[in-house]
Structure 1
Amino acid sequence: MFDLKEFGRLLQRIRKKRKMSQIEFAQLLGYTASYISRVERGKANLSMQAIENVTKKLNIKVRFFLNNNGTVRNKIKRYSKAMRGENYGTTS
């Protein structure tokens, strides 16, 4: 089952790792800052198309968000490794 709150926490951590405001992040993703805020709090329902859009623009595989393996902390560690060039969870 897809967990909106977990998705939101992961998205927020990714945004903060990139040192971006919600406004900057929203512009990058093509959404409003208020929508990004709702997503980060787990209050917005996301379609699969929206999830695919976000992951494509962030260069992250959809399965990174959708698999149930690992905690938010472990997923962020894997994301951080990928950002350093270890290419786990990112698209090629």
Structure 2
Amino acid sequence: MQSDRTEIPYYLVLRTGCQPYGLNADCHVVRREASLLLRAFARARGAPTSIADDAWNAFSGSESILPIGRTQIRAYALIRGTESEHQLRLLAAL
């Protein structure tokens, strides 16, 4: 059974004063909270990522994040592209 990639958090966004966001590959919000395990995973295994492309612009606009607010955001890429289906299901469950 293949994972539904629209429901897998590809990115974790940590924003000052707000709950963390889990975003899918298209930078659409798939969850508005993150478990302690997902946060720990992001910090330990995720790669810090840029928030400067069109997908991030769409996300920022949909969440009413002003350009200055981007300086208060840390984002981690959780997916490297080599994960197995099993690993993706585990990540979606965190």
The reply to whether TM is greater than 0.5 is no
- Decide which structure has the larger Cα Rg and report it: 2
Structure ranking higher in strand proportion: 2
Q: TM (normalized to structure 1)?
A: 0.29
Query: Which structure is higher in RCO with an 8 Å CA cutoff and minimum separation 6?
Result: 2
